[in-house]
A and B are shown apart, each in its own frame.
With several copies, the nearest count.
Chain A
């Protein structure tokens, strides 16, 4: 491995690890002595500066880390701020709705209703200020219970939870809906069949 490659490899290692990496660790990974490792690090630092990279190498004591250059903080902030406008996923909407209509409920309840794990979605919704912990249930394990927040009300233009739109009653499709509904059912099943039969795509 030539020196250029080693610089690149160090960069990749620092990038992937995300956290600070000690000089000693670099020595171990590349089986070189401290002096050589330091040399490589200096080369990496120089190359980043010379190629006008948006990333720089920071050295603290004997620990190295890649981070973004200060002058671009503004754009990073903007990115993060724009992220707040990313619409919720379908899964997030479902979790939110299940909790909104049944609150306060445990995560386990939501999972039971949806049939899939939703820890990730719940914590994202807490981060987004749409859900919050409302205490614990007096049950073995004392599970947390969740409910909606004021921000939730704001995002859905509701004055209070009493204003939650009513879920239309189910007009029990089993009885007397005649031919049209039957055909719908057939089509639904056709869909299921289509799904279950191999379809080659090119």
Chain B
């Protein structure tokens, strides 16, 4: 490889590195040649390791994700690989958009050249004057501590992961949704959630619907979260 002289610090994260590689290899972001990308990414990480650099866990996480993607691409059935690739593509496009906006913002920093003044140091009675209902305190307390009155809320990263990572049963739910739509009729979206037994099942069903939308297999139409939402099978695939 020609130039493995980058420092990890030059990249804002694994996504940044991936976009760099995509640009460098003139790959089409909508249809990435995944094997090229993966090889180069791994090579970068290796090079960094060789240079004894501290590699942030995010880079390693992405590496393992890519390796997994490459592995499933080798399987005779490509469905999961396609899904994972779509997911990665969407994320990359989104991050690319973020970078473009950031670039625009960074040209608009003229206002940083203006300065404001600190407030005059005038001594005055700052005692709070408003009167509130004492119930306001309950709301605020519940808001701070949470409904379950946990002492410590789980870190927000937990939620990133729920969505970032596929919950194992999504593919089973895709089958479930398609089976429900067998024959091409319409169904109320809500009914897909009937009989769900756990939170993760609900998540999986919802993700399955999104996945199916994404891959053009179902069509969602209607307004509001109520009755009008229906799921239609788009084509007779079976």
Return chain A residues, CB-CB under 8 Å to B216.
Answer: 178-179, 182
- Contact indicator B160/A15 (Cβ below 8 Å): no
Instruction: Using known A-B contacts A113-B144, A182-B216, determine if residue A80 contacts B223 with beta carbons closer than 8 Å.
Output: no
Which of A87, A109, A127, A158 has most chain B Cβ within 10 Å?
A: A87
- B201 to chain A minimum Cβ distance, whole angstroms, is 9
Q: How many interface residues does B have (CB within 8 Å)?
A: 104
Return chain B residues, CB-CB under 8 Å to A172.
Answer: 28-30, 148
Return chain B residues, CB-CB under 8 Å to A155.
Answer: 109, 111-112, 114, 128-132
- Contact indicator A186/B206 (Cβ below 8 Å): yes
- Contact indicator A193/B210 (Cβ below 8 Å): yes
Closest 8 pairs (CB-CB, A-B): A116-B13, A18-B119, A186-B213, A97-B140, A73-B113, A97-B141, A93-B140, A16-B115
B225 within 8 Å of A (CB atoms): yes
Name A170's contact: one of B97, B116, B130 (CB within 8 Å): B97
- Contact indicator A182/B12 (Cβ below 8 Å): no
A152's nearest neighbour on chain B, judged by CB, is: B128
CA of A142 to CA of B151, assembled, Å:
12
**For chain B residues 182-238, which have a beta carbon within 8 Å of chain A?**
189-190, 193-194, 196, 199, 202-203, 205-207, 209-210, 213-216, 219-221, 223-225, 229
B150's nearest neighbour on chain A, judged by CB, is: A141
A49 within 8 Å of B (CB atoms): no
- Contact indicator A143/B156 (Cβ below 8 Å): yes
Complex interface bits, A99-117 against B, C-beta within 8 A gives 1, otherwise 0: 0110000111101111111
- Contact indicator A19/B14 (Cβ below 8 Å): no
B110 within 8 Å of A (CB atoms): yes
- Contact indicator A186/B143 (Cβ below 8 Å): no
Return chain B residues, CB-CB under 8 Å to A195.
Answer: 225
Q: Which of B72-80, B100-108, B169-177 contacts A (4 or more CB under 8 A)?
A: B100-108
CA of A177 to CA of B90, assembled, Å:
13
CA of A87 to CA of B164, assembled, Å:
32
CA of A140 to CA of B115, assembled, Å:
40
- Contact indicator B142/A167 (Cβ below 8 Å): yes
A96 within 8 Å of B (CB atoms): yes
Complex interface bits, B118-160 against A, C-beta within 8 A gives 1, otherwise 0: 1110101111111111111111111111111101111111111
B203's nearest neighbour on chain A, judged by CB, is: A189
A136 within 8 Å of B (CB atoms): yes
- Contact indicator B144/A97 (Cβ below 8 Å): yes
Chain B residues near A (Cβ < 8 Å): 12-16, 28-30, 56, 58, 62, 90-91, 93-106, 108-120, 122, 124-149, 151-160, 162-164, 189-190, 193-194, 196, 199, 202-203, 205-207, 209-210, 213-216, 219-221, 223-225, 229
A185 within 8 Å of B (CB atoms): yes
A176 within 8 Å of B (CB atoms): no
**For chain A residues 106-158, which have a beta carbon within 8 Å of chain B?**
106-109, 111-117, 127-130, 136, 139-144, 151, 154-158
B199's nearest neighbour on chain A, judged by CB, is: A185
Return chain A residues, CB-CB under 8 Å to B153.
Answer: 115, 141-143
Q: How many interface residues does A have (CB within 8 Å)?
A: 87
CA of A25 to CA of B4, assembled, Å:
50
Given contacts A115-B153, A129-B128, A165-B137, 9 further A-B contacts (CB under 8 A): A18-B119, A80-B115, A98-B98, A107-B156, A112-B152, A128-B128, A142-B153, A187-B225, A192-B159
B29's nearest neighbour on chain A, judged by CB, is: A172
A70 within 8 Å of B (CB atoms): yes
- Contact indicator A142/B120 (Cβ below 8 Å): no
- Contact indicator A156/B109 (Cβ below 8 Å): yes
Name B102's contact: one of A15, A66, A90 (CB within 8 Å): A90
A17 within 8 Å of B (CB atoms): yes
Return chain A residues, CB-CB under 8 Å to B147.
Answer: 170, 173
- Contact indicator A111/B206 (Cβ below 8 Å): no
**For chain A residues 53-69, which have a beta carbon within 8 Å of chain B?**
56, 58, 65-69
- Contact indicator B112/A16 (Cβ below 8 Å): no
- Contact indicator B163/A193 (Cβ below 8 Å): yes
Return chain A residues, CB-CB under 8 Å to B97.
Answer: 167, 170, 198
